[in-house]
Amino acid sequence: MPESSAPVRITPEVAAKVAHLARLDFEPDELVRMTAQLDGMLEHFADIDALDLSTVVPMTQAFPLVNVLRADVVQPCLDRDEVLASAPAAEDGRFRVPPIIGSE
């Protein structure tokens, strides 16, 4: 349990914004519970704040590869019927979705 003097690392307002970014709907009490759990985790993860990372280069690759390229040659495509058969909704050879509203 985080101590009362520990800084709150994630507020319900921020959690709500994060939930929207992630397109996850939560009931209000779920979101409260989730926020508390995340806050607890972030409190635990604060152990790395003690490290001096000022001169450390981030590691983004496990194995150092460069220039992996592919020849520009057509390969067989998937069968549209097989793919659309797995789709929740399809019409006219296309995926059907509810109206798209708002930018992005």
Partner 1 sequence: MSASPEPRLTASAIAASVRDGSRKAADIVEQHLAAIAAREPEIHAFNLVLADEARADAARIDAQVAAGDDPGPLAGVTVALKDNMCTRGIPTTCSSKILEGWRPPYDATVVSVLRDAGAIVVGKTNLDEFAMGSSTENSAFGPTRNPHDITRVPGGSSGGSAASVAAGFSQIGFGSDTGGSIRQPAALCGVVGVKPTYGYVSRYGLIAFASSLDQIGPFTNSVEDSALMLDVIGGHDPLDSTSIPQEHPSLREAIQQDVAGMRIGRITDLPEGADPDVVQRLEVAFDTLRAAGAKIVDVQVPAFTFGLTAYYLIAPAEASSNLARYDGVRYGMRVDAADTNAMYGATRAAGFGDEVKRRIMLGTYALSAGYYDAYYGKALKVRRLISDDFDRAYQNADALLTPTSPSVAFQFGAKGDNPLAMYLCDTYTIPSNLSGQPGMSVPFGTGAHGLPVGVQVLAGTLQEPTMFRVAAALERGTAR
Partner 2 sequence: MSKYDGLPGEWELVVGLEVHVELATATKLFSASPNRFGDEPNTNIDPVTLGLPGALPVLNEQAVELAMRIGAALNCTIQPCTFHRKNYFYPDMPKAYQISQYDQPLNVDGFLDLPNGVRVGVERAHMEEDAGKSTHVGGSGGRVHGATYSLIDLNRAGVPLVEIVSRPDIRSADDARSYVNELRGILLAIGASDAKMEEGSMRVDANVSVHKPGTPLGTRCEIKNVNSVRSMGRAIEYEARRQIDLVEAGDVVRQQTRHWDETDGRTHTLRSKEDADDYRYFLEPDLVPLAPSAKWIARVTAALPMLPAARRARLADATGQPATSEAVTIVVERGQDDYVLAIAAAGGDAGRALVYVKEAFADSPNVTAADVAALTQMEVSGALTATQAKTVLAELVTNGGGDAKVIAAKHGFEAIDTSEIERFIDQALAEDPDAWQKFCSGDAKAMGALVGLVMKASRGKADGRAVTASLQQRRTDRS
Q: Binding partner 1 by CB under 8 A: which of 4, 5, 29, 70?
A: 70
Long-range Cβ contact pairs of 45-50 (< 8 A, separation 24 or more): 46/9
Report d(CA 24, CA 13) in Å as an integer. Answer: 14
**What residues between 19 and 58 interact with partner 1 by CB under 8 A?**
19, 21-26, 34, 37-38, 40-42, 44-45, 47-49, 51, 53, 56-58
Assess 84 for contact with partner 2 (CB under 8 A): yes
CB 95 within 8 A of CB 87: yes
Q: Binding partner 2 by CB under 8 A: which of 48, 53, 57, 100?
A: 100
Q: Which is nearer to partner 2, 2 or 19 (CB)?
A: 19
Q: What are phi and psi of 50, to 5 degrees?
A: -75, -15
